[in-house]
Amino acid sequence: MPELEVDFYFSFRSPWSYYAAAQLYDLQQEYALRVNLLVVNPIYIRYNEFFDNSHEKWGTYFLTDLMRYSEYRGLPIGMPRPDPINQTLAADDPGHLVNKLSPLGLAATAAGRGIEFAREVSTIVWDGQVDGWDQGDHLNLAAQRAGLELPALQQWVTDNDDLWRQQLLANDSALEEYHWGVPTMVFQGEPFFGQDKIELLLWRMQQKGLERIGKT
């Protein structure tokens, strides 16, 4: 059975990426599909002025839509504790916790289990159930659920410092060819922005021959 591929631009600071990761993971289990995780820097780092220049209604609508989509999909949502971005720090400050998560996501991708890792880690960050996801065994257990070992991922990050930094910036640039936000999925050069476009993405992939696993 031929396998199709879709690129998935993802940020660990994005609750919408969390929603999308859960759905794309499920699609990869159900269909002959490979989801290529492309971790990018959060918009706070890439476009720090975005929040200063946003419309006054943006924040209120953002929260309304976030909660509504949680109810619609049955995916729990809560404020991350702690936030992967510390908004008291400058955008380029290395102290943001997301700067620890992003290279681990790249390491997971290199190990062939990017979407699995993104799903598990974004869940402990965003589902509202974990207080202190960066402490204790939370990340280690999330990595194990994704079929990975956290120490091995951390060692890859250390051993490939230049590589992952270049790859992260390359992913940021590649996203710019299609959109500025996440989640963005790209299938055969066609972008689909937003977790609410995954059904449309599935429709397009089925047009191009996407089949369910086990179909004869």
Note the pLDDT of residue 192.
Answer: 98
Task: Work out the pLDDT band at 58, boundaries 50, 70, 90.
Answer: low
Give the C-alpha distances (Å, rounded to integers) separating 150 from 49, 99, 129: 34, 16, 21
Note the pLDDT of residue 214.
Answer: 77
Percent of the residues in the chain that have a pLDDT greater than 70, as a whole number: 94
For 165, phi and psi rounded to 5 degrees? -65, -45
User: Whole-angstrom Cα distance, residue 148 to residue 142?
Assistant: 9
pLDDT, average across residues 45-51: 74
User: Whole-angstrom Cα distance, residue 27 to residue 119?
Assistant: 12
Note the pLDDT of residue 49.
Answer: 67
Note the pLDDT of residue 76.
Answer: 97
Whether the pLDDT of residue 39 is over 90: the answer is yes
Domains parsed from the chain with CATH numbers: 4-207 (3.40.30.10)
Taking only the tens place, the pLDDT of each residue in 146-191 is 999 999 999 999 999 999 999 999 999 999 999 989 999 999 999 9
User: Whole-angstrom Cα distance, residue 122 to residue 166?
Assistant: 23
pTM for the model: 0.94
Taking only the tens place, the pLDDT of each residue in 81-137 is 999 999 899 999 999 999 999 999 999 999 999 999 999 999 999 999 999 999 999
Whether the pLDDT of residue 10 is over 80: the answer is yes
Whether the pLDDT of residue 55 is over 90: the answer is no
Q: Cβ contacts of residue 95 below 8 Å, gap of 6+?
A: 86, 89
Asked if 134 contacts 85 with a C-beta cutoff of 8 angstroms, the reply is no
Note the pLDDT of residue 59.
Answer: 75
For 182, phi and psi rounded to 5 degrees? -130, 155
Note the pLDDT of residue 216.
Answer: 52
User: Whole-angstrom Cα distance, residue 116 to residue 23?
Assistant: 11
Distance of CA 122 to the CA centre of its chain: 7
Note the pLDDT of residue 15.
Answer: 97
